Amino acid sequence: MAKKEFLTYKGYPLVRSDKTIYYGNSYDPFIIMIQIATTKKVGEMEIADKVLVQLLNTDPDVRPRDRIVKKSEKKGLYAAMDIATIWLERANSRKAQ
């Protein structure tokens, strides 16, 4: 079986399922979940408009409702990925210390 490579952004893997994007390594203490809430049509393309960003704790012993550490709503996917990268790097570097 061939090993599949993930698409990456700034060194972290991206996995998309419909309108949800998971950003980060699942074996790290934290990952990001990005949900595209609304889209708009620009020319012939649909682009993300309202995007929800959540920093999630990956510890299986944490209760599901306590897994959301931070959340924010951003306008556009670029702004969402920008804050997601900052949160991910800070959270995982703190946990590593």
H/E element holding 84? Answer: helix 77-96
Residue 53 near residue 81, CB atoms below 8 Å: no
Q: Which amino acid is at 3?
A: K
Model pLDDT for residues 35-89, shown as the tens digit of each residue: 999 999 999 999 999 999 999 999 999 998 899 999 999 999 999 999 999 999 9
pLDDT given for residue 3 in this prediction: 63
Its pTM stands at: 0.86
